[in-house]
Structure 1
Amino acid sequence: MPKPEITPGAPCWADLMTSDIEKAKAFYAELFGWTYEVGDEEKYGGYTTAWKDGEQVAGLMSKMPEQATMPDVWTLYFNSADINETARKVEEAGGQTFVAPMEVPEQGHMAVFADPDGAVFGVWEGTGHTGFEKLAEPGSPVWFENFTRAYEPTVKFYRDALGWETSVMGDSPEFRYTTLGSGDDSKAGIMDAAGFLPEGVPANWHIYWGVKDADTAIETVTRLGAQVIRPIEDTPFGRMATVADPFGAVFLINEGFRQDEEAGAQPAE
């Protein structure tokens, strides 16, 4: 399959901040078949790149001492052609800056923000590192989704801040959903989660990872000491489940959704 074309505003990378990088590496290697390359300690703090079939699909990094009380978490990054301009637009649109634009030597520039409803995301302007080399296949992301209680303001934010061209997929009280792009070209989604997002859980971005067999994946998750948060469901968009890794980082698995087609996905809900 050709490498995905990642346009400005589209998801381009994901990385895990973890309490125990060696155990996290072992967990995801067994679950997804990942191999790893550890970056230079002095330049990159030992940042680890995960590979599937020789193509990069994710990053992992250890928490810093000052981050010890923070939860383990996956962070989704969006592509930017000009990170300083994106940072300006994020703040103008009502977002919050957590990490101002900074250079990653020889790789690009990064920043971390939150949208007005509190969902954290990153932005990446790549030079040496250009992002996902595999999408919509087992062991790689198949979809990205924002759960928000402030649906309309959140959709407007991503239009204004990241330049999204959006399409409405559903507009009923039971299912309000907007995508970045439309149809086969859609790349991410925003869901009105006001009716089901648990109290105390902030708005957040979800990453769906492809698996060949959801039942086998859940058996692996359970055997390795991770938690099944939401059991496997059969949906029009594949078989899926929500899990947390052994240190609490939440993600979803998906079997079958467009994993034999060209990269780019539709909502897995």
Structure 2
Amino acid sequence: MTTRTTPWPAGTPCWVDLMATDLEHTQKFYRDVLGWTFSESQAEYGGYCNALVDGETVAGLSPTMEGMESAPHVWSVYLATDDLAADAATAVEAGATQVFEPMEVGPFGSMGMWIDPTGAAFGMWQANEHTGFRRVEEPGTVAWCDLMTRDPGAAQEFYQTVFGYTYQDIGQENMPYALFTVPGGEQPAGGIGGPDPAAGDAQPGWSVAFQVDDVDAAVERVRAAGGTVSADPSDFEYGRMAVVAGPDGEVFVVMTPSGTV
């Protein structure tokens, strides 16, 4: 268990959030599956609320924004930045497409959203009062974020240009994957890889894994709460995991880590 009260190092996945068709229903689903409680929905910020573990922020939920009803429901991943304007300019110069202009979110911080050169959407977050994940390394918190894309080499080059990532290749011949570390980081902060060849026409995107005590039990909670399971529990080098989806079809991973990556 770790509580963090200061901003995350630049380039680190520092926040995830989701737009929900029915906010109350989605809150109930994640309360049942991950044990989350929630802050009050804030009308002045589009009904946004924070998911909490032991009273500390771990993720965000909001009702679907007007005009975005047809947008896919996905967990959005935000990368920390110390200078949003400068990193935004670097990202565009390196081939990213801006989804919407960077903006201040009250006293909490500033954010923006882009699509990287491989087609994956990502956000950036410059912290003020809201520093991102305040609780990690326990059930209900984010355990891992990574990017899967059909051109992982181009993605690695892009994020290295913007954030200075360095890489440790741990992939296989038919499934490339590299851990990335941010400048000054002591351990990997996430990964970039290519999709499973069996994934067919899988779209590029960042994804999130939430930590649980027992993956098999979490999968049963997903089913009981009305979610679906697309990959049954299985063991891998760093623990046990399953791929599931929530009320709007948003895909995420439940994972029990075996130790430090």
TM > 0.5: yes
Where does residue 261 of structure 1 map in the other structure?
none
Coordinate RMSD, CA, aligned = 1.8
Asked if the contact 2:42/2:49 (under 8 Å) is kept, the reply is: no
TM-score (normalizing by structure 1)? 0.90
* AA aligned opposite 1:105: G
Q: Is residue 252 of structure 2 the alignment partner of residue 251 of structure 1?
A: yes
The Cα offsets for residues 106-131 of structure 1, whole Å up to 9 and x where unpaired, read as 11100001111111111000101010
* AA aligned opposite 2:174: E
Q: Distance in 1 between matches of 2:115 and 2:210?
A: 23
CA gap 1:171/1:64 in 2 versus in 1, 3 angstroms: closer
Q: Distance in 2 between matches of 1:197 and 1:94?
A: 26
Q: Distance in 2 between matches of 1:246 and 1:116?
A: 30
Q: Distance in 1 between matches of 2:137 and 2:186?
A: 12
Secondary structure (helix, strand or coil) at the match of 1:67 reads coil
Where does residue 91 of structure 1 map in the other structure?
92
Where does residue 190 of structure 1 map in the other structure?
192
Q: Distance in 2 between matches of 1:36 and 1:104?
A: 19
The range that moved more, 178-187 or 94-103, is: 178-187
Where does residue 51 of structure 2 map in the other structure?
50
The Cα offsets for residues 8-45 of structure 1, whole Å up to 9 and x where unpaired, read as 11011000111111000000011111111124312x12
Where does residue 34 of structure 2 map in the other structure?
32
Where does residue 169 of structure 2 map in the other structure?
169
Q: Distance in 2 between matches of 1:250 and 1:175?
A: 20
How far did residue 208 of structure 1 move? 0.5
Q: Is residue 11 of structure 2 the alignment partner of residue 9 of structure 1?
A: yes
* AA aligned opposite 1:190: I
Where does residue 23 of structure 2 map in the other structure?
21
Q: Is residue 73 of structure 2 the alignment partner of residue 76 of structure 1?
A: no
Where does residue 142 of structure 2 map in the other structure?
141
Q: Distance in 1 between matches of 2:186 and 2:169?
A: 12
CA gap 1:239/1:171 in 2 versus in 1, 3 angstroms: closer
Secondary structure (helix, strand or coil) at the match of 2:11 reads coil
The range that moved more, 184-193 or 84-93, is: 184-193
The range that moved more, 172-181 or 103-112, is: 172-181
* AA aligned opposite 1:255: T
How far did residue 211 of structure 1 move? 0.5
The Cα offsets for residues 25-80 of structure 1, whole Å up to 9 and x where unpaired, read as 000011111111124312x1221101001211000011023111122111000000
How far did residue 172 of structure 1 move? 4.0
Where does residue 67 of structure 1 map in the other structure?
68
Q: Distance in 1 between matches of 2:181 and 2:42?
A: 37
The Cα offsets for residues 163-195 of structure 1, whole Å up to 9 and x where unpaired, read as 22x222325413422222299611100012273
Same amino acid, percent of matched pairs: 35
Asked if the contact 2:78/2:122 (under 8 Å) is kept, the reply is: yes
Q: Distance in 2 between matches of 1:58 and 1:196?
A: 30
